[in-house]
């Protein structure tokens, strides 16, 4: 049972890290003004739109910037915050599932 819980906690932590990575990479792609017609860039941006849960959305997120470079600021702030939240939640879930030491 202990080995099973350890493996599950590792898988959960990995999943949360991957979700955070998607948001962070997508924010970087927006910041560097990557070509959205590129298949890989488009895939990452659509994946980030899917995992932001609407709460950390570029268009209607926790914080909405206006003016110059608003799209970049929105992506960096909201997706960056989303990535941090995924890492914190991942660590919490991993600690709850992992057997005590």
Q: Where are the domains of the chain?
A: 2-97
Distance CA 19, CA 87 (A): 9
pLDDT digits (tens, 9 = 90+) for 81-92: 999 999 999 999
Q: Where are the beta strands (DSSP E) in the chain?
A: none
pLDDT at residue 2 in the model: 87
* CB proximity list for 70: less than 8 A, separation 6 or greater: 64
Decide if 13 contacts 90 (C-beta within 8 A): yes
pLDDT surpassing 80 at residue 101: no
The CB-based long-range contact list for 4-7 (8 Å cut-off, 24+ gap) reads: 5/97, 5/98, 5/99, 6/98, 6/99
Q: How many CA atoms lie within 13 A of 101 on its CB side?
A: 2
> Is this structure's pTM higher than 0.85?
yes
pLDDT digits (tens, 9 = 90+) for 34-76: 999 999 999 999 999 999 988 888 888 888 888 898 889 999 9
Centroid of chain to Cα 10: 18
């Amino acid at each position: 049972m202990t080995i099973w819980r350890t493996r599950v906690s590792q898988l959960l932590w990995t999943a949360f890290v991957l979700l955070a990575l998607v948001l962070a990479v997508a924010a970087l792609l927006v910041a560097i003004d990557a070509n959205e017609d590129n298949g890989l860039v488009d895939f990452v941006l659509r994946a980030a739109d899917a995992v932001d849960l609407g709460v950390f959305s570029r268009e209607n997120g926790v914080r909405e910037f206006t003016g110059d470079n608003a799209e970049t600021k929105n992506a960096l702030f909201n997706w960056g915050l989303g990535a941090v939240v995924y890492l914190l939640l991942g660590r919490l879930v991993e600690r709850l599932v992992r057997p005590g030491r």
